[in-house]
Amino acid sequence: MPVTRSTGLLALGGIALAALLTVIGHLEVNDDLNPWALTISDFAVSDRGGVIDIAMVVLALATVALLYGLRRASPPRPRSGRTAELLLGAWVGGLLLAAVVPTNEPGTAMTTAAYLHRYASVVAFLALPAAGWLLARRPDLTPAARTLRTLVLLSLALAVAMIWSAYPGDRMLIGLAERLLILTEVAVLTTVAATLTRRVYSSSCSMSWRAASVMEPDSDG
């Protein structure tokens, strides 16, 4: 139990650090970049090797910690549980690949690396909501099931909005749509990590209380 709680706290800390680094990365780039019209990848390529790339790696590692905690919390996994783990793995792989392989500079022609970056991001953006929907079925995440499903549906709606903006919408507000999408998907991870940590902590407290009750001598009055 303590190991599971530690991994949950580690995941929460990683998510918070990734969020902080992303904000810092937005503050350090060229003032001419418009966050509503440009994606986070556009910001990152303007500062290659900068904190936004590091933030993506940190978020991927936080997900790995969360995945380990989920396995320790409930070793016997049904088929949907194994599928959820594979989808979380796809999210991690997509994040790492997008962090390592840069997109193209805004306004320039797409390169092979840029296409690889794009499709790695697409895989990550689609894999996490699917994993969140399946994770909502886990008994140990029942308290957060409704919240998880709501966030998943919202993220899918934002993904559709981003796809529309990227193609027929002529990239109108694509940066805003992507940031809202990422915020929602990170909220899925945060909800899972917080629920897992809280549940393990409550179980530990309950076990400690029972042990103390058993060891306490009876009073004769």
- Give the CA dihedral 176, 151, 186, 128, nearest 10 degrees: -100
Name the pLDDT band for 64 (thresholds 50, 70, 90).
Answer: very high
Phi then psi for residue 46, to 5 deg, are -80, -10
The label of the residue with tokens 């969140």 reads 132
186 vs 175: CA distance, rounded Å: 16
Of the candidates 17, 139, 151, 154, which has an alpha carbon nearest to the alpha carbon of residue 70? 139
Query: What is the DSSP annotation of 124-157?
Result: HHHHHHHHHHHHTTSGGGGGGHHHHHHHHHHHHH
| 164 in Cβ contact with 220 (< 8 Å) | no
Among 3-7, 32-36, 55-59, 136-140, the minimum mean pLDDT is found in 3-7
Helices (H), the chain: 2-28, 40-45, 51-73, 79-100, 112-135, 145-166, 174-215
What average pLDDT is seen over the chain? 84
Q: What is the arithmetic mean of pLDDT over 61-71?
A: 93
Residue that wins the pLDDT comparison between 55 and 202: 55
Contact residues for 157 (Cβ-Cβ < 8 A; gap 6+): none
Which pTM does this prediction carry?
0.85
